[in-house]
A and B are shown apart, each in its own frame.
Chain A
Amino acid sequence: MIALHLPALQVVLPLIAAPLCALFRRGLLAWAITLTASWLAFAAAIMLLLQVIDQGVVSYELGGWMAPIGIEYRVDLINAFVLLIISGVGAVIIPYAQKSIAARFGDAEQAWFYTMYLLALTGLLGVTITGDAFNIFVFLEISSLASYVMIAMGRDRRCLTAAYQYLIMGTVGATFIVIGIGLLWAMTGTLNLYDLAQRIPEIENTRPVLAALAFLTVGISLKLALFPLHLWLPNAYAYAPSVTSAFLSGTATKVAIYLFLRFFYTVFGGGAFFESTPLPEILLILSLVAMFAASTVAVFQSNVKRMLAYSSVAQIGFITLGISYATETGLTGAMTHMFNHAIMKAGLFLLIGGVLFRLGSVKIEDMAGIGRKMPITMAGFVVLGLSLMGTPGTVGFISKWYLGLAAVEQGQWWLVALIVIASLVTMIYIGRVVEVAYFREPTAKVAQLKEAPAALLVPAFVLVGAAIYFGLDTSLSVGLAQNAALLLLNAVY
């Protein structure tokens, strides 16, 4: 019974929990509800993944209406993998949230925060699981609206302008997506992704379909913060509450990347179609610029959260680089990096959130000598930082290995060199923090700090542990990504 309705439960559980939090308006109770809903959603994602591995595509007809007419939830290996990432990040973050959020907000505000988080989670899971193009737009807006509010709850007033800017750019992006979907619908008369994939090849080269593709590309690129459409991201992640930054950096951009893959590969006909467009070249150039420009900007940031945000833009460049190859290894690298980057960046934001919790600032110069006072937090930071650079034995190495391998397969050795150089730039900005934290005398303020509370450390260290575990045993991350890459290339849905 439960197994039969898993796809619906995946989305409905957090959706029902959200108004409950808003109704009770008690911080602790809302947190307990959120924790339950997040973990149940994680459990549902795991069960769905097992189901998909076991029996192939799982299709769920909402309300019992048959697929092209009713709305269909369609889970294959690709979105089961993304669902696992999103709900996993959510499940790890919520135990952390209680301490972090309760320190800043009153009872009612805490409940509102959890309501928003649950709606964002619902939206992101919904975008990923649905097999209906218009449903994607609706869920995308649910998650976006909720995340604007989550960003606007930061402690610095700049979070307000960051949220406003994100709202403008995010809405333009979502509207572009819906224009694209509208044109596709006008041409094919269907909104079901599976149905679209069947009907599009006949009319692939008509002008409205190509225009739809252009709108979808720009809209989704805005959402995934592809350089140069990333302008909303740095401030949004820098000034939002730590929990929000960790959650969004691990999930929101990943879902947009999933949409990109879904539309280009599944709906428009796999690797062959992707290579027939000018996109591989464009994406390659933009990815490289993102990797270098954003990393370089990150080096000069004085706010560590802002530095991590720019680093996100650079890491998204790595992911889109993998997509631009349009080969099995390239896509495997891209999807593995989605998984790995979610672990690393969410973990880094959680650890820096611990610093913010104790120190009240994340300016680099304020963090002098903090490695001696908060040794566990900073040790975690170093491990995840090493992973971000791509040190062997951590997840960062795995994804960069596959991205490099994909370049070698195509005989483009210069790309391997560029990937290595970009990783060296990563070393500079992580190194700056490490230098200040360990090799400088603690300032008076740092000298009286205590280690971050266990409630903040444990969730962060689950991610640190995952960064090492999945760096050694890649059967889950790479194994799934590889199979998903094959499905994408051959447009199997």
Chain B
Amino acid sequence: MTEILATVNYWVTIVLMVGGLYIVVAHGNMVKKLVGLGIFQTSVYLLFLSPGKVLGGTAPILAEGFELYSNPLPHVLILTAIVVGVATLALGMALVVRIHEAYGTVEDDEVHELEMD
């Protein structure tokens, strides 16, 4: 039990990762697929941030009385990854809007049927 608690970040990461990917695969609604994709990407943020945390460490700014610092690198990386994620989500949504204009629906199977005609 304590082992699970000690690695709780990673368990959450796994749940988000698998859950997000499941939504992407299983849902037919294009907006929901994007939501799943967002969750999937979020799990990666946690995966990067977790090993960077040093228990008891502070932000890495030199100051008197603080010896222990957390690793700042993952924050920088994930800030970039978040920007990428937002851009992807925005573009995905824009495409869904265009698809709705062109087909009148955002359901995978209905769009597929219209494409067959």
Interface positions of A (Cβ within 8 A of B): 134, 137-138, 141, 145, 148-149, 152, 157-158, 160-161, 163-164, 167-168, 171-172, 175, 178-179, 182-183, 185-186
Minimum-distance CB pairs A-B, first 6: A157-B102, A186-B51, A141-B84, A164-B95, A160-B99, A182-B48
Q: Which residues of chain B from 46 to 96 have a CB within 8 Å of any chain A CB?
A: 47-48, 51, 77, 80-81, 84, 87-88, 91-92, 95-96
In the complex, how many angstroms separate the beta carbon of B96 from the nearest chain A beta carbon? 7
Contact call B95/A167, Cβ cutoff below 8 A: yes
* 16 other A-B residue contacts (CB within 8 Å) besides A164-B95, A178-B81, A179-B17: A134-B77, A134-B80, A137-B81, A137-B84, A138-B84, A145-B91, A152-B95, A158-B115, A160-B102, A161-B115, A168-B33, A172-B40, A175-B41, A178-B44, A182-B44, A186-B51
Contact call B80/A161, Cβ cutoff below 8 A: no
Interface of B is mostly: helix
| Chain A CB within 8 A of B103 CB | yes
Chain A residues within 8 Å of B88, by CB: 141, 145, 167, 171
Categorize the interface residue count of chain B: 20 to 34
Known contacts A161-B111, A161-B115, A175-B44; A145 and B87 CB within 8 A of each other: yes
Q: How far is the CA of A171 from the CA of B44 in the complex (A)?
A: 12
Contact call A171/B96, Cβ cutoff below 8 A: no
Contact call B91/A167, Cβ cutoff below 8 A: yes
Q: How far is the CA of A183 from the CA of B103 in the complex (A)?
A: 41
Most B CB contacts (10 A, CB to CB) among A161, A163, A179, A186 go to A161
Chain B residues within 8 Å of A134, by CB: 77, 80
Chain B residues within 8 Å of A182, by CB: 44, 47-48
Contact call A168/B37, Cβ cutoff below 8 A: yes
In the complex, how many angstroms separate the beta carbon of A7 from the nearest chain B beta carbon? 21
Q: How far is the CA of A185 from the CA of B92 in the complex (A)?
A: 29
Chain B residues within 8 Å of A175, by CB: 40-41, 44
Nearest residue in B to A186 (C-beta to C-beta)?
Answer: B51
Known contacts A148-B91, A160-B99, A164-B92; A171 and B37 CB within 8 A of each other: yes
Contact call A168/B115, Cβ cutoff below 8 A: no
Provide a sorted-by-A list of 18 A–B residue pairs whose CB atoms are within 8 angstroms. A138-B84, A145-B91, A148-B91, A160-B99, A160-B102, A161-B103, A163-B95, A164-B30, A167-B88, A168-B33, A168-B34, A171-B37, A172-B24, A172-B40, A179-B47, A182-B47, A182-B48, A185-B48
